[in-house]
Amino acid sequence: MQQAPPFPIRVECPPGLCVCERERLLADPQADTRILMLTREQEKKLLERIERIDSYAQLQHVGKLMFDQLGIALSIAPSAVEVRTVRGLAIQLGALPGLCRKTRQAIPAAIRRCLDQHPEIVYAILDAHDLFGLS
């Protein structure tokens, strides 16, 4: 018998629509179940928080909090070819059992909306990744 984590967890996705492996995660007593704390209500709050970001430092802070509290590793890097718009940035979430397919799409979309509103963050990301390769 599987024991539920000591905190409210995300409701199960409809069968066949998601690849989050929620049940396998719950069945493993050694698994890191922090990601299941991201309920739909908490996800909405996270997405709103991401869209309110107005500096590169805040973006890094939210990324660190996502990793510390939920285990979600966020990676934002310029494309290997060129960056003309926000779409030229590669925004990826690390592989994590329990992370819903919709959440995998919603977080990068929220980050893109934030970056569309604050191009100075995009410039900071490019600077942080040594845009001109001068180092």
Q: What is the pLDDT of residue 83?
A: 61
- For the chain, report the end-to-end CA distance as a whole number of angstroms: 56
Which residues constitute the domain of residue 114?
34-128
Q: Does 78 fall in a domain?
A: yes
Q: Does 15 fall in a domain?
A: no
Q: How confident is the model at residue 1 (pLDDT cuts 50, 70, 90)?
A: very low
Q: What is the pLDDT of residue 114?
A: 95
On the 0-12 / 13-18 / 19+ scale of CB atoms within 10 A, 34 is: middle
Q: Which amino acid is at 88?
A: G
Which segments within the chain are labelled E, that is strand? 74-78, 89-93
Q: Does 122 fall in a domain?
A: yes
Phi, psi of 117 (to 5 degrees): -80, -25
| Residue 107 parent element (H or E) | helix 101-117
Q: Does 3 fall in a domain?
A: no
Q: What is the pLDDT of residue 101?
A: 87
The structural domain count of the chain equals 1
Q: What is the pLDDT of residue 108?
A: 95
Q: Does 22 fall in a domain?
A: no
pLDDT digits (tens, 9 = 90+) for 74-124: 999 887 666 666 677 888 999 888 888 889 999 999 999 999 999 999 888
pLDDT digits (tens, 9 = 90+) for 5-64: 566 778 887 777 777 887 888 888 888 888 888 889 999 999 999 999 999 999 999 999
Q: Rounded to whole angstroms, how far apart are CA atoms 135 and 5?
A: 47
Q: Does 29 fall in a domain?
A: no
Q: What is the pLDDT of residue 36?
A: 87
pTM of the model: 0.84
